[in-house]
Amino acid sequence: MELLDLPPEVFQRIMQKYVAKAGLCDAWKHREVCKTFNVYITVEIFKHQPMKVYSSRRNRGLFRKGLTVFLEYRLEHLYGAHDLLPSAVRMAVAKIIEITQETSVKERIELNKEVIAAVVKFWKNVHVAAIKPSKCTETGCSKDTDDARLLCLVVGMGRLDLTRSVLKHCTDPWSEAYCLGSPVDVAVRARDLAAVELLLTDTRSHKRTKSSIFSRTIDRVFHAQKDESKVDFLEKLLSLYCTFLGRPRTEYCIRWLGYAHHRGAISISRKILDMGFNSALAAEYRPCLFEWWGEKPDRITMKLFVERKVFDMAKTYTFRSTRSDSLPVMNDESVLYYAVRLGDADLVQLALRSGADANGAINSSGIREYPIRQAITNSNCEAKILELLLAYNADLIGVDPFFGKHNLEKCHIESTKRKLLEEAIKRTDNN
C-alpha cells in the first residue's frame, strides 16, 4: 500500500508526528511535495497545534503569514485559541446574512473568508489578539457595539453595495470600535474613497462628531511614512472634508500645512488654503511659515501665501525663526521690502502683482520703506528687481533727492542698474 492510499485519519496521524518531529517551519517548507501533503500539513499546522507553539520566534513569522488560514480553521473549533476574533467573525457573518437574506452554504463560506481577511488587515495587533489578547484589549472590545464592529468589517471587505445595505441598519454609523477604529478610518486605510463619501453623506451622526473623527483620521495619514502616492489621496480626502464638513479646526489646518511644507507637497498646501480662511486664521498661518523653515528658507510656501493673500501687501510684519538665529527674518517690513532685501525676483514680482505698492509700506515708525534703495545698493539684488520696481512706478525721489542726477553720478552702481536708472530719470525729466 502506498503512503497516499492510507485512510485519512491514519495519514493525519502520520502528518501529526512528522510536524512534531520536523517542526512547523521545516514541515511548511516541504508542503509542496504534493497536493495531499499541502492539505494535511496546512491542517496540522494551523488547526491542531496548541497556542504556545506560535509564540516562539521561529514560528511567529509563519503564524503571521498564515493567520487567515488559522482563523478559518478556528472559527468553529478553537482548539485552545482565544475566542475574541472568531466570535467577531461569527457575529459579523450572522448579521450580514440577516440583512442580505443570503442563506446558502456557499455564500456563508465566502463571507467567512471575506470577513476574516478584513479582520487580519484592519484589526489592531491582530496577531496578539488571535493567541492571547491583553486584558485592556478584552475590556475595550467588550464595550464595542455590534453596529460599530460590523460596519468597520463590512467597509474593510470593500463591497460598497453591502456597505450601503448595512449602513441602513446602523443607528450610529460613526461610532468607533476599540480595535478597528471608526468605519471612516477603515475606509481611509483601505483607500476606499467611495466608502468615505458614503459615510460622509449619512446625516444621522452629528456634524461635530464626524468632523472630529475625520480630522483625526486624516491627521494619521499625514503622520504616516512618507509616500508620494499619498499626496493625491490626501488631496481627495481634503476635498471630501471641505465638501461635507467645511473647513477643519485651526490647529489641524496649521499642522497639515506644516506637514505639506516639510514634504514639499505644495498641492496639499494649496488645497488647505482653498478651504478658505479669515483674517484671524491668516494671522495664525503667517508666523508658522518661519517656524517651519529648517536649515534654509524654502520660499515656495511663502509665495503661495502671498498669492492667496495670507499676507496683506500694505502691512509690515515682524517674524523671527524659532530654529536658527542665522535665518532671514522679517523685521517690521512688508513682503515686498523683505523680498527685495533677500534678492528674490520671483517673490518681488508676485508681491507687486498681488497689489504691493512699489514704494513699500509705511512701517511702525511712520516711515515709508522705499525698497528701490535696497534694489540699487544691495549686491544680492539683480537688475531685474530694479526693473520690476520701476515698471510699477517706484518713486525715484522719495523723501529726499537721493536719486537726483548729480548724486547718481557720484554713486558706485552696477552698470545695468545705472542704465535703468538713467533711463527712468530721463523719462521723469521729460514728463
pLDDT tens profile 71-80:
998 888 888 7
For residues 373 and 153, give the distance between their C-alpha atoms in angstroms, rounded to a whole number: 67
User: Would you list the DSSP string of 102-115?
Assistant: ---HHHHHHHHHHH
CATH number of 314-431: 1.25.40.20
At position 289, the amino acid (one-letter code) is: L
What's the pLDDT score for residue 399?
44
Q: Which of 187, 196, 248, 260 has the alpha carbon at shortest distance from 223?
A: 260
**SS3 state at 294:** coil
Average pLDDT over residues 104-129: 93
What's the pLDDT score for residue 311?
94
Cell numbers representing residue 321 in the block: 525663526
For residues 335 and 431, give the distance between their C-alpha atoms in angstroms, rounded to a whole number: 31
**Entry pTM:** 0.83
Average pLDDT over residues 15-30: 78
Cell numbers representing residue 385 in the block: 528687481
Answer yes or no: is pLDDT of 430 > 60. yes
Answer yes or no: is pLDDT of 405 > 90. no
Q: Are the beta carbons of 166 and 186 closer than 8 angstroms?
A: no
For residues 242 and 114, give the distance between their C-alpha atoms in angstroms, rounded to a whole number: 33
**SS3 state at 362:** strand
For residues 421 and 431, give the distance between their C-alpha atoms in angstroms, rounded to a whole number: 15
Answer yes or no: is pLDDT of 85 > 80. yes
| Count helices and strands in the chain by DSSP H and E runs | 25, 2
User: Would you list the DSSP string of 242-293?
Assistant: HHHH-SPPHHHHHHHHHHHHHTT-HHHHHHHHHT---HHHHHHHHHHHHHH-
| Residues 6+ away with beta carbon under 8 Å from 95 | 146, 150, 166
What's the pLDDT score for residue 406?
47
**pLDDT tens digits for 235-271?**
999 999 999 999 999 999 999 998 888 888 899 999 9
| Residues 6+ away with beta carbon under 8 Å from 305 | 273, 285, 286, 289, 311
**Which value, in Å, is the radius of gyration of the alpha carbons in the chain?**
33
pLDDT band at 296 (very low <50, low <70, confident <90, very high): low
Answer yes or no: is pLDDT of 32 > 70. no
Angle between the N-to-C axes of helices 84-100 and 67-74, in degrees from 0 to 180, rounded to the nearest 10: 70
